[in-house]
Amino acid sequence: MKTTQLIVFVALLGLTCPAVALDTATSDAALAKRLDNPIPATIEKGTIRVRLKTIASGLAAPNWGVPAPGDSEYLYVSDQNGKLWRINLADGSKLFFDLSALLVPLGAFGSESYDERGLLGFAFHPQYADNELIYTYTSEPASASSDFSTIPPGGSANHRSVIREWKMNFSKFATEPEPMDVRVLLTVDQPQFNHNGGALNFGPDNRLYIAFGDGGGADDRDGQTFIGAPMIGHGINGNGQNPANPLGSLLRIDPLGSNSDNGSYGIPTDNPFAESSTVLRETYAYGFRNPFRFSFDLQTGALVLADVGQNAIEEINLIQSGGNYGWGLKEGSFRFDPNGTDAGFVTNDAISGDFKDPVVQYDHDEGTAVIGGFVYRGNTITDLQGKYVLGDASKTGSGDGRIFYTDGVAIYELDFADRAQSGFWVLGFGQDGDGEIYVLGNTTGTPFGETGVVYKLIPNAGFDGSTVDIPAITARFSGGDDAVYRARMQMIAGSAPLRFEVSQVEPLAERFRDDATVFTQATGQLQIPFINVTNDNGSIATYAVVLQQITDAPALTFELVNASLVK
């Protein structure tokens, strides 16, 4: 993340800032070019109004969530402190795997302070059910030589990134899975503690994609001073524009192959630089600053990557094989001026080169660090279908994370019926086997404590003037059992008070329960705490309503008893 953000984080924790000494003095000529408000337009609230349901709590800093292939009942969530959780989407979480002993000690500025190292990513092999293989990305002590290093002679790495393959004990999967075998695929020295990237995903081509940041510090150039020490490990032109090493790049490998230089993984022959003598053969795309999260669209296979900017622009990219996304000559679609030993900035100056621009971007009036998510492919939030859900860690550095969505043209903020804004740091996203999306975060912005929570995006009921759509009802039967259903009701024209006849009922799995809408058979009462009513002008009002079953009606019918405005 960016240097100014680190200063804010440290100040929030009540600590003394450890000499983040970028010289902010700039020449008159530089000041004349610098864009202080590169994107004047603001991100407005969109028309999609939803809620956040707590799925699991008591984590530290959850940052990624996916299912095991073919398993829709569980979401596996990585915690930055080294723990991998297996979350039953109906009734809570359980520790699945603990890698904390491998990690470099966390707390870049002292005990329990901000850090960007840790367990940063994991991925199940597409044939996990048969081969039991999981891959992890961890930040570990630089106590041995690495496969890749940009550290000059006499220098030392802050830590190193390690990609491992674990073979699990599938026979104990349901109760207490344990690793049976482990091997290291590749290791990369990291010059500074930040900008590690960390996303790890298999594509629809069954290849493993690995995102690495530019190595940390600021400006991606040697010559700066960062945390009281001269920058090393970036060179004079930066790692982002040097695809001869993995820093600042997205790699693509075959974890089961063996034609890499270290013999521990394969390099696919259709990689864009597979035959190159100057570009790392593993490179799929490059020119990134801190590609913390990326994902593949479940339907189209598109690779969508969020790259955290420096002090101006946050960006979302559609990744093309062999593409150069510009950092550190560009930040977003703008030219980046590294400004010598002073702080870099963006300008409107022309950019020379074959670079890929972001699909969408926003500036720091709107947030501080983009957190990439997923294209929504679930079935419960109809209006979100096909849109990419993303977030920003914290707009002002005070735990006010934001959650956005985009259609690839404009960015909108999700509108929450039960809160003004998130009230936590957005640290990651998850997507389950049904295509539903989860928001991961905590209240501290650090990898410590137990304030980490996994939330699910869930829809409100909706009324369009004729039809009531209720995504999930908990039906509590007189015999003591309950079940979850999706239902639709048609308004009976001319009824006063309004009456609604049930036209469709569909049973749902327990994991779709939303803990809000309840039908109690003993009383015949249907309580809908959140129902979005779309007005003729397209605006939305959310109400809490109570309906009463009409027992002598020929079909299952409810009458409106009470309605009060929620938002």
Would you say how long the chain is, in residues? 567
How far apart are alpha carbons 258 and 265 in whole angstroms? 4
Q: Residue 522 contacts by C-beta under 8 Å, 6 or more apart in sequence?
A: 476, 478
Contact 184, 224 (CB under 8 A): no
- Within 10 angstroms of residue 229's Cβ, the number of other Cβ atoms is 13
* Residue 537, pLDDT score: 85
* Residue 95, pLDDT score: 87
Q: What is the mean pLDDT of each run of 10 residues along the chain (567 residues)?
A: 42 32 49 90 96 96 96 95 96 88 96 96 96 96 97 96 90 59 97 98 98 97 88 96 98 98 98 97 98 98 98 97 98 94 91 96 97 98 97 93 97 93 94 98 97 97 96 95 97 96 97 95 97 90 98 96 96
How far apart are alpha carbons 160 and 143 in whole angstroms? 9
Q: Which two tokens stand for residue 498?
A: 């309004």
* Residue 6, pLDDT score: 43
Q: What is the 3-state secondary structure (H, E, C) of 93-123?
A: EEEEEECHHHCCCCCCCCCCCCCCCCEEEEE
Q: Which two tokens stand for residue 506?
A: 């569909």
Of the candidates 9, 82, 52, the one whose C-alpha atom is nearest the C-alpha of residue 438 is: 52
Q: Residue 314 contacts by C-beta under 8 Å, 6 or more apart in sequence?
A: 306, 307, 308, 332, 361, 362, 363, 364, 366, 367, 369, 370, 392
How far apart are alpha carbons 503 and 76 in whole angstroms? 37
Of the candidates 472, 457, 509, the one whose C-alpha atom is nearest the C-alpha of residue 65 is: 457
* Residue 18, pLDDT score: 33
Q: Which domains occur in the chain, in start order?
A: 3-459 (2.120.10.30), 461-565 (no CATH)
Cis peptide before 480 (omega within 30 of 0): no
* Residue 27, pLDDT score: 58
* Residue 419, pLDDT score: 85
